[in-house]
Chain A
Amino acid sequence: MKRTNELIVALAVLAVITVITWGVFAVGDNMPRGVTPYSQDVYQLHNTILAIVTVIGVLVFTAMFTSIVVHRRSKGYEPARFSHSTKAEVIWTSIPILILVVMAVPATRVLIDMEDSGGAEMNIKITGYQWLWRYEYLEDEISFFSALDRASNQARQIGSGINPRDVDNYLLEVDNRLVVPVNTRIRFLLTADDVIHSWWVPDLGWKRDAIPGMVNEAWTYIMEEGVYRGQCAELCGKDHGFMPIVVEAVSREEYDAWVASQRQGMADAAHDAARLWTRDELMDRGANVYQAQCAACHQPDGSGLEPAFPALARNGAPTGELNSHLDVVMHGREGTAMTGFGSRLEPQDIAAALTYTRNAWSEEEGEVVQPATIAELNQG
């Protein structure tokens, strides 16, 4: 009599818990399937494991709530006296071990596949900086920085008055995208310049830490053209939340055309570094460079965030003498978040930023720094 009672209740409880579980899965998001063979393996693995743990959870809760419904004092249920069963202990120790083996086998297979980064058709070096990424295409000899785009950067300031919903791909758009060809086995070499970052695009199926002094490896093979977005996943300071990653996967032809245009751009830049610039040209370019590279810490109006990030403009005038200012910008300042920009930016960008900071907030005309000066310093 009691047994039937428990069985009926158990079935009812099972039904209720199943419905709740179904609801929990119906309203939520799941992991993206992704666009690489590896990400799809991970997606399958995730779903398998999730299904297994869900079934375990449902059965455990069914047993527990059946007991809660049936074995209660308010129904006059008399307590049993057993407190041990070797048979039960053996069963619920060994069955979980078997389930774990079932889980471990596919996990091991996918992991071994992921860890084999051989056979690369192209190599891209990724370097994390506070708070932007640098991409270097080792074969195609292209190199550029990729930072949060201007629209997001303006909208994300406290009191910006801009509704993030009005910004396209708020916080997930960059100025220069990582363009790669589809159906190509690409190896990534990851490192960092200052602190630990982590490069993560969910659609590629993995994240990997970028660590100063170390080079990590990972690979991908994107099967569909498209734009895939991610962001830094390791806390890297104040603007950790503002260093997105955008991968644009294109056909081989489009990729080749993109490489050609990048090369042309680099040639133009080399030419620019050598010629003499006017004050207005430098101020225009400097405003852009300053907003992209410096304003996060030193603030758009140069007022800084004391004491960590010093003000550049005091009483409307830039502080410090030009040579020391130049030295800090080129080589950074030890023990602070100020890194050297000498290797990060084009000479004309540094010259423009310096010219801008020495003129923008001052009544009087300040110094003009020419790209050629910086280029000389770089070589010396």
Chain B
Amino acid sequence: MSQETTAHHDDHHAHHPTGMARWVFSTNHKEIGTMYLIFSLAMFLVGGAMALVIRAELFAPGLQLVNPEFFNQMTTMHALVMIFGAVMPAFVGLANWMVPLMIGAPDMALPRMNNWSFWILPFAFTLLLMTLFMPSGGPASGWTLYPPLSLQGGNSLAFVILAIHLMGISSIMGAINIIATILNMRAPGMTLLRMPLFVWTWLITAFLLIAVMPVLAGAVTMLLTDRFFGTSFFNAAGGGDPVLYQHIFWFFGHPEVYILILPAFGIVSEIIPTFSRKRLFGYTSMVYATASIAFLSFIVWAHHMFTVGMPLGAMLFFMYATMVIAVPTGVKIFNWIATMWRGSMSFETPMLFALGFVVLFTIGGLSGLMLAIVPANFQYHDTYFVVAHFHYVLVTGAVFAIMAAVYYWLPKWTGHMYNEKLGKIHFWWSTIWVNVLFFPQHYLGLAGMPRRIPDYAVQFTEFNMISSIGGFMYGFGQLLFVYIIWQCVRGGETANAQVWEGARGLEWTVPSPAPLHTFDTPPLVDDSVAVHKDNLS
């Protein structure tokens, strides 16, 4: 079915290399997207293995498996690998694959830079992961690298900082590319307010990336000079201020957590209408809510550090600003439910993961609202309550959305339907065990267990055991995800161009699998083709 189109395009691009060179020199958004996604999956398994080391040690009180120093390296590396290696590259991979297809562009605006953005990453993570094998060990001061503790480690800190710089360069180049593509390469008639919400959320995310990645680079560079070149930015004895680092870091860090969730909002906003067979409710307000969340993310950073001792006025400001984020986030959740309401829903795997996202992300959002309340935050801060909160928004939030996206678009990528039965088993297995894993951590935090400890008082034993069992079941369950993808790539029921009966948008007008080159002639877009149709716009 797609043969003709492919053959037609190959005439224009006959010089395409094969073998390894095809991937190393690729400037094609689909191939680069695929590489990002495979890299992300590999890092997800590496970071997951580190999480299992943590959960194994915490299965019972007393130290059984690892010494505290290595435990701290695991918590630090798990976070860095998952955030910068798994979740962010997955979203960039999805953007690479889908943004040009969704806006009717033939490729990304800057294809050579696109190649470089990806190929920096394997080197960055080689640098990061090799520190584990150095004499002084990997970074062990938490992913936030708070000084003075982070400055106490060995020379491996220099490798970590260089790796972070490389990841930052990769992210900034990726973000520039996405903005340039969305602003310049939309098909005729694809006005900004006709764009799919995934494209909108990525446009806003890309601006966040460009704004804050340099801030992170600045913060870690100051760490580098403090550690190796005798400066005292964060050294109190030299007139510096350790708290300054926290302000700079979280000025990056809070927008960063929205970088990790806004594209997820976009994905869910694509999937729920498709399987509800109804257009997205309140499209325009979804766009404005996303932009509001992005703006607010810049003025709430200090809520990560209420216990450092801030003036009363500052604490009140950051508390109120943080609470306000609940309003646009609430709008999103209400709009998703209004989209389902009186729709005609069916529950294929992408929809199941999207619905799981809405429920579990809401739980994480509500615990986030609790964390904003400063007096109570003095109790919650740095406990397992916080660990539970951010894993609800990152695992059952970001990761569930990424998995939903993979199931949703996999037939478009491979030309085959995945195994629906296994997909559903994967969803239910993940959903049950991820809650066994993270829900008891709320109780542990409230009962007084601090985070980042390798051993604990015996009254915390039961909930830690339950959590560890959940962790192992959830973790090994993800091998099923790998198997389903592998199986789908290899073969399966042939997918047609539309794939999902209720899906709208340009990506469903090209054949499955999408040929290497699409939209060489831009399509014409009007309201009948547009994904979303808000009565206001």
Interface string of A6-49 (1 = CB under 8 A from B): 00000000000000000010011111100000100110011001
A226 to chain B, nearest CB (A): 15
- Tally B residues with Cβ within 8 Å of A: 103
Contact A57 B450 (CB under 8 A): no
- B-side contacts of A64, CB under 8 Å: 337, 340, 355, 358-359
Q: How far is the CA of A38 from the CA of B378 in the complex (A)?
A: 11
Q: Give chain A's interface residue range (CB within 8 Å of chain B).
A: 35 or more
- Given A73-B277, A171-B456, A172-B457, are A165 and B61 neighbors across the interface (CB < 8 Å)? yes
CB distance from A125 to the nearest CB of B (A): 15
Task: Report Cα–Cα, A238/B153, bound state, in Å.
Answer: 11
- Any A CB within 8 A of the CB of B184: no
Q: Does A136 contact B (CB under 8 A)?
A: no
- A113 and B319 CA atoms in complex are apart in Å by 16
A85 to B279, CA, bound (A): 13
Q: Is the CB of B337 within 8 A of A67?
A: yes
Question: Any chain A CB within 8 A of the CB of B63?
Answer: yes
Which residues of B sit under 8 angstroms from A1, Cβ to Cβ? none
In the complex, chain B residues 44-64 whose Cβ is within 8 Å of any chain A Cβ = 61-64
Task: Say if the beta carbon of B452 comes within 8 Å of chain A.
Answer: yes
CA separation between A158 and B65, bound complex, in Å? 7
**Count of A-B contacts with CB under 8 A?**
302
Find out whether the CB atom of A83 lies under 8 angstroms from the CB atom of B283.
Answer: yes
Pick from B340, B376, B379, B455: contact of A71, CB under 8 Å: B340
B312, A111: Cβ atoms under 8 Å?
Answer: yes
Contacts of A196 in B (CB 8 A): 146, 148-149, 242
Q: Is there an interface contact between B152 and A206, defined as CB atoms closer than 8 Å?
A: no
Q: Known contacts being A84-B281, A100-B326, A239-B68, is A207 close to B381, with CB within 8 Å?
A: yes
**Binary flags per residue of B319-330, CB closer than 8 Å to A gives 1, else 0:** 110011011001
Question: How far apart are A6's CB and chain B's nearest CB, in angstroms?
Answer: 9
Q: Which among B8-16, B106-114, B439-447 touches the partner chain?
A: B439-447
Q: Is the CB of B533 within 8 A of A104?
A: no
| CB < 8 Å neighbour of B457 from A38, A41, A93, A169 | A169
With A93-B331, A164-B62, A207-B382 as given contacts, are A84 and B536 in contact (CB-CB < 8 Å)?
yes
A289 to B204, CA, bound (A): 58
A345: CB under 8 A from chain B?
A: no
Q: Is the CB of A232 within 8 A of B536?
A: no
B528 within 8 A of A: no
Asked if B342 contacts A57 (CB within 8 A), the reply is: no
Given contacts A93-B327, A96-B327, contact A78 B62 (CB under 8 A): no
Return chain B residues, CB-CB under 8 Å to A57.
Answer: 362-363, 366
Contact between chains at A238 and B69 (CB < 8 Å): yes
Q: Are B333's CB and A60's CB within 8 A?
A: yes
Contacts of B379 in A (CB 8 A): 31, 42, 46, 202, 205-207
Residue in A closest to B69 when the chains form the complex, CB atoms: A238
Q: Which residues of A contact B359 (CB under 8 A)?
A: 61, 64
Q: Which stretch from A210-218, A265-273, A314-322, A370-378 is at the chain B interface?
A: A210-218
A209 in complex: contacting residue of B137, B309, B319, CB < 8 Å: B309
**Residue B146 contacts which of A108, A169, A235, A241 (CB distance < 8 angstroms)?**
A235
Which residues on the A side are within 8 Å of B330 (C-beta)? 92-93, 96
**Hey, which chain A residues are within 8 Å of B452, CB to CB?**
235, 240-241
Q: With a CB–CB cut-off of 8 A, which chain B residues contact A172?
A: 457
Task: Say whether A157 faces chain B, with CB atoms less than 8 Å apart.
Answer: yes
28 contacts across the A-B interface (CB closer than 8 A):
A31-B446, A57-B362, A57-B363, A61-B359, A68-B355, A71-B340, A79-B276, A79-B342, A83-B533, A92-B330, A92-B334, A100-B323, A100-B326, A111-B375, A115-B315, A164-B455, A171-B61, A171-B457, A205-B378, A207-B307, A208-B309, A211-B309, A212-B242, A214-B242, A235-B142, A238-B67, A241-B455, A336-B152
Closest 9 CB pairs of A and B: A213-B236, A241-B453, A28-B443, A216-B309, A80-B342, A206-B378, A29-B447, A53-B366, A79-B344
Chain B residues at the A interface, C-beta cutoff of 8 Å: 61-64, 67-69, 72, 135-137, 140-142, 146, 148-149, 152, 154, 236-237, 240-243, 276-285, 307-309, 312, 315-316, 319-320, 323-324, 326-327, 330-331, 333-334, 337-347, 355, 358-359, 362-363, 366-367, 369-370, 373-376, 378-379, 381-383, 439-440, 442-444, 446-448, 450-458, 463, 532-536
Beyond A42-B376, A305-B69, 8 additional contacts (C-beta under 8 Å) are: A28-B446, A53-B366, A57-B366, A68-B340, A111-B315, A172-B457, A233-B383, A236-B149
